[in-house]
Structure 1
Amino acid sequence: MPAPNGGPDAVGAGQDEGLALTWLYAPGDRPEVVAKALRSGADVVLVDLEDAVPPGRKEYARAATAELLAEPAHGRVPVHVRVNALDGPLAGPDLAALAGLPGLGGLRLPKVGTPADVVRVARAVRAAGADAPPLYPLLESALGVENAFAIAGADPAVRGIALGEADLRADLGLTGEEALTWPRVRTVVAARAAGLAPPAQSVHPDVRDLVGLGESCRRGRALGFLGRAAIHPRQLPVIERAYRPSAQEVAAAREVLAASATSPGALALPDGRFVDPAVVAVAHRTLLLAARRPPD
């Protein structure tokens, strides 16, 4: 049966952005920083109109972002925009200014708590005469995490979900990495169940703590995440190293695919590894990632 939302039927199948490893935030009221982000090597640039922009500069940030996206991307790094809080007075003007712009790669929807939040945004964009761009709801509360699967399938325009861990920590009073394990796993499972690409991890807020960032990325990868959002370019290489396949992983994936091509169905490799369709699907994704990111 096809996966909902146009998502992958096999692990790793899907659109190119479904294999993105690095998503770099840049404040919308600082076009010079956005320009640097576009040159940083990030797979996707996230222009922020919400938390990173002071109240007095919201209109300027919106206008500057609309100007940036007024022309088609033409091979430029994809640009997504995080709009202001959906239950506040600024989200409507944000959506009206951005809907239909040819350079808009996607909309990040903050603090989504229910599927109705997503439906409301999609309807507002379509009512303005534009197709809904790819939507990426952010789960930043207990309610959002509880409704993760319903949010992931709320509208065909939804292309991914992600946690907003700073707000989630505050909402639940969480401390430490281990406290986030359950909501992280729930988000990964909800995305997969809805046929979406694996979610990217939330930002690591300490831009100087590159060791901690790397350790957190390795834990996130083990939980099923793919890539991570960043708030500074110096974080990008750490995220890439943690998430891109190693030379050993690439070699193992090639061995799996070679064996499966000659012996369809389940089989055991000479070293004892068991191969079945799920293992083959993971091997395919490994090689897709390796094609974009050469292994170390």
Structure 2
Amino acid sequence: MSFDLGPALLFCPADRADRYRKAAERADAVILDLEDALLPGNRARARGMLVSHPLDPERTIVRVNPVGTPDFELDLAALDDTLYRYVMLPKAVNAAHLASLGRFEVIALCETAAGVLAAPSIAAEPNVIALMWGADDLVASLGGSSSRFPDGSYRAIARHARSAVLLAAGAHGKAAVDGVFLAIPDLEGLDAEVTDAVASGFRATACIHPSQVPVIRAAFRPAPAEVSAAWQILEAAAGEEGVFAYQGRMIDAPLLRHAEAVLRRAEASRPEPGAAPGPAPTDAVDY
């Protein structure tokens, strides 16, 4: 199964139907959230909104509640009344959690210590199309209090989990989605983090505010010079057998795959109207 939902996946509380279409218009795909974005008492109302306010199922993901909770079964019952087929499963801790979601294409969230350790077996499940990780739930599962240092950089445990989930996804040919950047006004910090995600091999980044979407798209979109260089390397490789020299560099199979990845990102990128992301937003999630 291919993954073509990214690069910018925008969370939207499922109890805010007034934001559904605005979120969908602003992002590559919208994640209608029945879990952490809601107060528990609002979940029944959110499920009703999910059914009565449909979006394009090709660009909509529904984050359900964890397996084993009463809300999980109620979420699945609501999904049966929709055309949605993409599900984000939070706090996935083993492959057995995917069994009840066989009719869906699943983005599995490895966001606990058990989930990160089980990431390879979760990624191997046929209905899993991507893995995502979550730093703050992970640290909470360990009894910690913060996933980042005061300067905004990740602590070692979070960096390890991020790499482990990316490697597990890649080992099974699945996409990896990078976690959210919570400091909404810090667009520079977001850009640095997404730029690293792109270079490392993540296929998308989840976000919590519309102002973050242009930054994510820009980071995933290769610069014209990068696209030109990739074409030149691939053209130079035509007729070559094995390793060859090009413009003072040794070009081998991994570098050819890097060039192909650049061209895939260029083809998948959507033009962003009004390139500049604009002034730093407030903390309010305003759609």
Deviation at 1:15, TM superposition (A): 4.4
Please give the alpha-carbon distance, in whole angstroms, between the structure 2 residues aligned to 1:240 and 1:225. Answer: 13
Gap change, CA 1:189 and 1:100, over 3 Å in 2:
farther
Report the number of matched residues.
264
Alignment-derived partner of residue 77 in structure 2:
96
Alignment of 1:109-258 (within 5 A): 109-122=89-102, 132-154=103-125, 156-172=126-142, 173=144, 174-176=147-149, 177-179=154-156, 180-197=158-175, 199-258=176-235
Q: Establish whether residue 66 from structure 1 lines up as the match of residue 51 from structure 2.
A: yes
Deviation at 1:77, TM superposition (A): 6.0
Deviation at 1:262, TM superposition (A): 3.0
Alignment-derived partner of residue 292 in structure 1:
268
Please give the alpha-carbon distance, in whole angstroms, between the structure 1 residues aligned to 2:60 and 2:90. Answer: 16
Deviation at 1:215, TM superposition (A): 1.9
What's the CA shift string for 1:171-223, capped at 9, x where partnerless? 232433142221111111100111112x1211111211212212222233333
Please give the alpha-carbon distance, in whole angstroms, between the structure 1 residues aligned to 2:81 and 2:168. Answer: 29
Deviation at 1:272, TM superposition (A): 2.2
Structure 2 length-normalised TM: 0.85
Contact 2:61 2:85 (8 Å CA) reproduced: yes
Gap change, CA 1:264 and 1:67, over 3 Å in 2:
farther
Please give the alpha-carbon distance, in whole angstroms, between the structure 1 residues aligned to 2:80 and 2:105. Answer: 11
1:27 aligned to which of 4, 13, 21 = 13
Deviation at 1:168, TM superposition (A): 1.1
| Seq. identity, % | 34
Contact 2:220 2:265 (8 Å CA) reproduced: no
Cα RMSD between the aligned structures?
A: 2.1
Please give the alpha-carbon distance, in whole angstroms, between the structure 1 residues aligned to 2:85 and 2:61. Answer: 5
Between 188-197 and 163-172, the greater mean CA deviation after superposition: 163-172
Contact 1:43 1:77 (8 Å CA) reproduced: no
Gap change, CA 1:44 and 1:262, over 3 Å in 2:
same
Please give the alpha-carbon distance, in whole angstroms, between the structure 2 residues aligned to 1:77 and 1:195. Answer: 21
Deviation at 1:33, TM superposition (A): 1.0
Contact 1:139 1:163 (8 Å CA) reproduced: yes
Deviation at 1:224, TM superposition (A): 2.5
Please give the alpha-carbon distance, in whole angstroms, between the structure 1 residues aligned to 2:165 and 2:135. Answer: 12
SS in 2 for 1:16: coil
Alignment of 1:37-48 (within 5 A): 37-40=23-26, 42-48=27-33
Alignment-derived partner of residue 125 in structure 1:
none
Alignment-derived partner of residue 277 in structure 1:
253
Between 177-186 and 272-281, the greater mean CA deviation after superposition: 272-281
SS in 2 for 1:137: strand
SS in 2 for 1:58: helix
Contact 1:152 1:158 (8 Å CA) reproduced: yes
Write 1 or 2 for the structure with the bigger share of strand.
2
Deviation at 1:247, TM superposition (A): 1.8
User: Given residue 219 of structure 1, which amino acid in structure 2 is its aligned partner?
Assistant: D
Please give the alpha-carbon distance, in whole angstroms, between the structure 2 residues aligned to 1:281 and 1:107. Answer: 30
SS in 2 for 1:262: coil
Unaligned runs of 5+ in 2: 276-287
1:84 aligned to which of 46, 58, 65 = 65
Unaligned runs of 5+ in 1: 1-5, 7-13, 123-131
Deviation at 1:100, TM superposition (A): 7.0
User: Given residue 92 of structure 1, which amino acid in structure 2 is its aligned partner?
Assistant: E
Please give the alpha-carbon distance, in whole angstroms, between the structure 2 residues aligned to 1:194 and 1:275. Answer: 26
Gap change, CA 1:112 and 1:163, over 3 Å in 2:
same
Please give the alpha-carbon distance, in whole angstroms, between the structure 2 residues aligned to 1:274 and 1:78. Answer: 41
Please give the alpha-carbon distance, in whole angstroms, between the structure 1 residues aligned to 2:60 and 2:127. Answer: 16
Gap change, CA 1:44 and 1:105, over 3 Å in 2:
farther
Please give the alpha-carbon distance, in whole angstroms, between the structure 2 residues aligned to 1:243 and 1:288. Answer: 10
Contact 2:23 2:30 (8 Å CA) reproduced: yes
Gap change, CA 1:164 and 1:158, over 3 Å in 2:
same
